Structure 1
Amino acid sequence: MSDVSELPHRLALAWGVAERPERAPKRELSIERIVEAAVEIADTDGLAAVSMAKVAQSLGFTTMSLYRYVTSKDDLLLLMQEAVLDVEYPPAHDPADWRAELREWVQFTMELFRAHTWYLSIPVTGAPFTPNNLRAADAGLRALRSTPLDEEEKMSVILLTSGYTKSAVQLEADLARAEHSPDGVPDEAAVVAALRTLVDDVRFPNLYPLVDSGAYGGEGQIDDTAWGLERILDGLESYVGVRAAGAPGAGRDVRSEQDPGGTEPDEEADDAGHDQVSAHARDPRVKRAALQRRDAERRLREAQKSVRELERSLRDARRAERDAVRAAVEKSRD
């Protein structure tokens, strides 16, 4: 766009270039106050609780008065996101340390989302065009200034890490919400104990050791979020090293650049993989083998059920035997 007057109204509001109404005659109402009230409601009661009517009520104004400043709820949601991102990011390191700086950027962003988890519920409608969203991206890109990555690769790094940030915080929020749900959640210890009976090393050969050790569903000693971030950074560090050694960027079609008429290798690999999977799906031998596997699994489940029933009968018989012995001893004493 060549003229800011062509910006959509909500973006013009975010950039502060939209025309503002005159102040209310009695008490001052402003976009800033409206957004602040909306964020407070979302922080307290969640995004679903935010409405133009509720925001107006919290400020002591009519709903219609808000529309003089914010023309729709979508505009309000965008401005709420901007308010959350109106922060100062951690400073740059001197000398530059891309891994430490990128880690700090991710961790800082995670804390923002943890403080305002409703932010993650707002649908993504496209690339960010608002000032504070762009400042957030700029801070992440600054962390990569010392790397040999080109500009597109740097942006891919930001998309990768920000995607991880959002999914990790969303999972934390979902688990916390389930834990505090009025419906409650199953007793985890009881479920894990039951799984030790149900999960065997035949049907679940790779999961069984984890369940048998008690680690499945337990607290464990690994901070999964931090661990995942470090593994992403490990991969990026390896890639940065390869690029520093002069290798071409991943995703670049070197052969097609040399031979514009050639077929892109990645497409060939994708097509070959797709054809192979399709062929397997159509092969009658694969279908028969799959049916045999499912039938074997069914019979295994039935056998395991019978074993559990026999074990239960054995426990009952032993209990009855102990009761009979105890009764006989007590009778002999009489």
Structure 2
Amino acid sequence: MTEDSELDLPRGVALAWGVSADPQRGPKREMSVEKIVDAAVELADADGLGAVSMAAVAARLGYTPMSLYRYVSAKDDLIVLMQESATGLPPAAVREIDGWKERLGELFRAQIEIYLRHPWMLDIPISGSPATPNSSAWVDMTLEALEETPLDAEERLAVTLMVTGHAHWYGAVLAGYSTVGRTTGMTPAQITAREAALYDGLISPDEFPALRRAVDAGVFLSDSDPFVFGFERILDGIAAYIDALAAGGARSAGAAWAVLEDADVAADKKYREAQKTVREAEKALRDAQKHQRQALRDARDRLARHPGA
């Protein structure tokens, strides 16, 4: 962070950057922001983000909750610091890897490993970009991996956000399956077999024909990883775009979707009521289609029992 910066930083972000001084007084000199954060991370690693409270952290350290507030003034600030600590720095060895695709692949895998070590990070609400040193270091290294490509600054940031977002989603899936394994004692193979059996028993060819064909093809028992496949195909698409730019092709216009611009519209009461009406109509349509499929099955059963009728 630049020395001449006079930003009005939230205390948690300021503490992460080291520009908010520790209090002059405290219960003991052994207390520090770092020890508070370490204790909070240990609690979250063991029992999830919900187990973290100022009282629980204080009890773990042997102090009163009020003692902690002299160092970290709010739980939200503590969560920012926990996220920063758990994120850590990106692996320096990435810079030794040749090729932007290979670098991004390694950064992708490294981010997923963070979520597997600290699955509670996936429960932190997203309220904006985490403008902290370690998080910034990950962005910086990803952007650096793309510097020798013809992508411009906006496109490099877009690719960086894609890597981060895909890692977050894949990390959520893997962490969820890991939790199921711990709580049920099931192995990954057993979890996969159970899910495949559920789909096999529930998905009918009349109601979900394409999904039924996928079930019959054995997709839910496959050893292939659909998330890695998707990530690699995205990288292939970016590579094709880079090749086109290098050959003198036109740059993408990058037209923005109107999602954010429509946020105020989505919050409007009349709009929400209209959306509710649409959902109810869609439900009625699904019910009608379900009855239609059932009638078709019944007719087929009658014809099978009485072919000459």
**TM-score band, normalised by shorter chain:** 0.7 to 0.9
Please name the residue that 1:33 is paired with: 35
Q: Distance in 2 between matches of 1:310 and 1:187?
A: 35
Name the residue aligned to 2:265.
none
User: Which of residues 73, 76, 100 is equivalent to 1:74?
Assistant: 76
Q: How many residues align?
A: 272
2:292 to 293, 299, 302: 299
- One-letter code aligned to 2:220: G
1:145 alignment partner, SS class: coil
Cα distance between partner residues in 1 of 2:298 and 2:42: 53
Pair 54,117 (structure 1): closer, same or farther in 2 beyond 3 Å: same
Deviations 1:235-255 (A, max 9, x none): 1111111121223331357xx
Contact 1:23 1:29 in 2 (8 A): no
Q: Which residue of 1 aligns with 2:270?
A: none
For the residues of structure 2 that align with 1:65 and 1:293, how far apart are their CA atoms?
58
For the pair shown, the structure with the greater C-alpha radius of gyration is 1
- Identify which of 198, 218, 234 aligns with 1:191: 198
1:80-109, CA deviations, whole angstroms, 9 ceiling, x for partnerless residues? Answer: 111012234243456841111111111111
Match of 1:48 in 2: 50
Q: Is the contact between residue 199 and residue 211 of structure 1 (CA under 8 Å) also seen in structure 2?
A: no
Please report how far the alpha carbon of residue 209 of structure 1 lies from its aligned counterpart in structure 2 after TM superposition: 2.0
SS at match of 2:134: helix
Unpaired runs of 5+ residues, structure 1, are 254-263, 268-290, 314-334
In the alignment, residue 39 of structure 2 is paired with which amino acid? A
**Residue 231 of structure 1 aligns with which residue?**
233
In the superposition, relative to structure 1, how do residues 176 and 307 fare at CA in structure 2: closer, same or farther (>3 Å)? farther
Instruction: Pick from 146, 149, 156 the counterpart of residue 144 of structure 1.
Output: 146
Q: Distance in 1 between matches of 2:31 and 2:285?
A: 71
Q: Structure 2 vs 1, CA of residues 207 and 193 (structure 1 numbering), >3 Å: closer, same or farther?
A: closer
What CA distance in whole angstroms lies between the structure 1 residues aligned with 2:66 and 2:285? 67
State the secondary structure of the residue aligned to 1:48.
helix
- C-alpha change, 1:189 and 1:162, in structure 2 (3 Å) is closer
| Inter-CA distance 308–165: structure 2 relative to 1 (3 Å threshold) | farther
Q: CA deviation at 1:30?
A: 0.3
The 1:307–1:44 alpha-carbon spacing in structure 2 relative to 1, beyond 3 Å, is: farther
Q: Which range moved further: 173-182 or 57-66?
A: 173-182
- Residue in 1 that maps onto 2:128: 126
Check whether the contact 2:90–2:110 (CA below 8 A) recurs between aligned residues: no
Aligned-pair identity (%): 38
Name the counterpart of 2:220: 217
Q: Would the aligned equivalents of 2:26 and 2:70 in 1 still touch at CA under 8 Å?
A: no
- Cα offsets for 1:20-55 (capped at 9, x unmatched): 113646451000000000011111100011000000
Gaps of 5+ in 2: 259-283
Find the counterpart in structure 1 of residue 165 from structure 2: 163
Shift of 1:128: 2.8
Give the conservation status (yes or no) of the 8 Å contact 2:54–2:68: yes
Matches of 2:16 and 2:214, distance apart in 1? 50
Deviation at 1:149, TM superposition (A): 0.7
Residues 192 and 216, structure 1, Cα contact 8 Å, conserved in 2: no
User: In structure 1, what is the Cα distance between the partners aligned to 2:286 and 2:70?
Assistant: 66
Q: Which residue of 2 aligns with 1:98?
A: 100
- Cα deviation code 1:152-204 (max 9, x no counterpart): 1100100111111101111222334345557x999445424424xx512x443
Cα deviation digits, residues 90-147 of structure 1 (max 9, x gap):
4345684111111111111111111111112111212232111111101111111211
Task: Give the counterpart letter for 1:222 in structure 2.
Answer: S
Aligned with 1:12 (options 5, 14, 17): 14
Instruction: Tell me if structure 2 keeps the 8 A contact 1:210–1:216.
Output: yes
Provide the residue aligned with 1:207 in structure 2: 211
Which residue identity is paired with 1:300? R
For 1:328, the equivalent position in structure 2 comes to none
Paired AA for residue 294 in structure 2? R
SS where residue 209 of structure 2 aligns? coil
Q: What TM-score comes out, normalization by structure 1 length?
A: 0.71
After superposition, the C-alpha distances for 1:220-262 in whole angstroms (9 at most, x for unaligned) are 1212222122111111111111121223331357xxxxxxxxx
In 2, the alpha carbon distance for the partners of 1:176 and 1:310 equals: 48
CA contact (8 A) 1:90 1:104 kept: no
